Amino acid sequence: MRQGASGAGEDRFERSLAYRQRALRHLAHGVSSTPRASQRPTPIAIARAEGAHLVDIDGARYVDYALGYGPLILGHTPPGVIAAVTAALSAGLRAASIHTDEAALAEAMAAAMPGAEMTGFVSTGTEAVLLALRIARATTGRTRIVKFRANYHGWSDTVGLGNAIGDDGPAALGQDPAASASVTLLDWGDAGEVEAALDSSYAAVLVEPAAINGGCFAPPPGFLERLRAATSRHGVVLIFDEVITGFRLGLGGAQGRYGVTPDLSVLGKALAAGLPIGAVSGTRAAMEVLASGRLLHRGTFNGNPLSMAAGLACLNELSRSAATIYPRMDAFAARLADRLNHAAAKAAVGLQARALGAALQIFAAASPVVTLRDTARVDRDATLRFTGELLREGVFALPRGLCYLSSAHDEDDILRTETAIDAAVARFAA
């Protein structure tokens, strides 16, 4: 089987290029999620996956750091998850309106995460954000929301604005501006700005506790603690969007890592190890309006047996092995970031990487990217070109430079990736 072919021309991607032309005929934009179309030199069509590796339809093999855009924390084929989903599948696609894995997964989440006393399940992170905001509004009787610039909370009109530094507008065409009229945009990391803006007219503060999506930034010292104090002072619901950070920055998510417990948490991605899932978890007090049944909570696929089985198997594995899995993933991410920074400095090119927990972000930028505000200076096109060079070297990163580690990555994968980074940086410099 071919590895990613160093220096290969466009014929190296012949079948993926042909598939792209076919897909464009009847599949909108040729992809099912717009960012997938940005991969250089073409979106790669995958034939199969195992562990930490992908094989494309041209037969080339890659070390995978996209991991399904983050959910695959145990890799592509974790035996425990595969066995659990297979057993659930054999019982029927939708065997009953309720089943026992729903309560079992909620119990496992309560044991793992500080603020997860009660949980409600949905199918996606976007849905979970909408449910969390509805809970906050129903609980407080208020409508206003604080959202932070360059924090991403899904594609709904409600919070789909201010997703990039320097652009406070809607994230996409066709959005209803009235849907986000109750949203106040503030700068992530600036607790003083929140304290000055917040009053008793707000229902919620919605925040990514660590800005992985924006570039792998840890919260500034005291930021989360001051958010917790300010929201409590005004009776405002504090919502952590842990769709990315939940079960990735540690078994207890960002709230466990940083020691600040929100009222509500929005979860997804790693929770079900690769199957679709969304969840809102919170304290008993914050979840009362949902737990009592006063707030309607609907969805045909909420708590579906396959996702519940996958989530339960995933959390069981993470709980058993947390003491080894998380330090190893964190160390691998830091090591790859260091290797890229060293190679870029040696070649005198504007590339850099930041690591946070089991994730790292690659930037193409002429000056250091130290804060979330600095991401306004990132050269997006050059970043796409560099991840395209990594692809040619057999390393599959998200096109915009975000990379995730999994428990399936091993020392050989990291060594191969370090060699690929050196070669990709050299070609990028040339």
Q: Which of 271, 303, 335 is the last residue of a domain?
A: 303
Residue span of the structural domain in which 260 resides = 95-303
Among 241, 263, 330, 413, the one annotated catalytic: 241
For the question of residue 346 being annotated catalytic, the response is no
SS3 state at 379: coil
Same domain, 44 and 153: no
For the question of residue 269 being annotated catalytic, the response is yes
Let me know if residue 267 belongs to a domain. yes
Residue count of the chain: 430
DSSP structure class, residue 4: P
Task: List the beta strands (DSSP E) in 202-299.
Answer: 202-207, 237-241, 264-267, 278-282
Residues 378-391, buried b or exposed e (16+ Cβ, 10 A)? bebebbbbbbbbbb
Closest CA to 408 of 128, 77, 176, 55: 77
Let me know if residue 83 belongs to a domain. no
**Domain containing 56 — which CATH number?**
3.90.1150.10
pLDDT at position 208 = 98
Q: Which of 254, 271, 303 is the last residue of a domain?
A: 303
Q: Please give the structure tokens belonging to residue 233.
A: 């002072």
Same domain, 134 and 29: no
Let me know if residue 387 belongs to a domain. yes
Instruction: Per-residue pLDDT tens, the chain, 430 aa: give them.
Output: 456 544 456 788 999 999 999 999 999 999 999 999 999 999 999 999 999 999 999 999 999 999 999 999 999 999 999 999 999 999 988 766 789 999 999 999 999 999 999 999 999 999 999 999 999 999 999 999 999 999 999 999 999 999 999 999 999 999 999 999 999 999 999 999 999 999 999 999 999 999 999 999 999 999 999 999 999 999 999 999 999 999 999 999 999 999 999 999 999 999 999 999 999 999 999 999 999 999 999 999 999 999 999 999 999 999 999 999 999 999 999 999 999 999 999 999 999 999 999 999 999 999 999 999 999 999 999 999 999 999 999 999 999 999 999 999 999 999 999 999 999 999 999 9
Let me know if residue 314 belongs to a domain. no
Let me know if residue 90 belongs to a domain. no
For the question of residue 241 being annotated catalytic, the response is yes
**pLDDT tens by residue, 234-244:** 999 999 999 99
Same domain, 397 and 327: yes
Let me know if residue 85 belongs to a domain. no
Let me know if residue 286 belongs to a domain. yes
Among 202, 258, 269, 404, the one annotated catalytic: 269
pLDDT at position 7 = 47
Same domain, 266 and 130: yes
Same domain, 227 and 282: yes
pLDDT at position 360 = 98
The amino acid sitting at 323 is: A
Same domain, 291 and 347: no
**Domain containing 189 — which CATH number?**
3.40.640.10
Angle at 321 between CA 320 and CA 326, to 5 degrees: 140
On whether the CB atoms of residues 323 and 176 are closer than 8 A, the answer is: no
**Helix, strand, coil % over all residues of the chain, rounded to 5:** 45, 15, 40
On whether the CB atoms of residues 267 and 280 are closer than 8 A, the answer is: yes
Same domain, 113 and 8: no
Q: Please give the structure tokens belonging to residue 430.
A: 């040339």
260 CB-near residues (< 8 Å, 6+ apart) = 209, 224, 225, 227, 228
In 165-248, which ranges are continuous DSSP H helix? 191-197, 212-215, 223-234
CA 257 to chain centre: 17
Give CA separation, 296 vs 116, 130, 153, 291, 293, in Å.
20, 13, 22, 10, 6
Angle at 272 between CA 46 and CA 355, to 5 degrees: 75
- Whole-angstrom Cα distance, residue 165 to residue 241? 19
Same domain, 295 and 345: no
Same domain, 36 and 130: no
On whether the CB atoms of residues 345 and 135 are closer than 8 A, the answer is: no
- Whole-angstrom Cα distance, residue 44 to residue 23? 12
Domain tally for the chain? 2
Q: Which helix (H) or strand (E) holds 186?
A: strand 183-186
Among 152, 202, 326, 404, the one annotated catalytic: 152
Q: Which of 272, 303, 334 is the last residue of a domain?
A: 303
pLDDT at position 188 = 98
Same domain, 253 and 400: no
Same domain, 128 and 275: yes
Q: Is the peptide bond before 41 cis (omega within 30 degrees of 0)?
A: yes
pLDDT at position 4 = 59
Let me know if residue 87 belongs to a domain. no
Same domain, 218 and 339: no
Angle at 333 between CA 331 and CA 336, to 5 degrees: 105
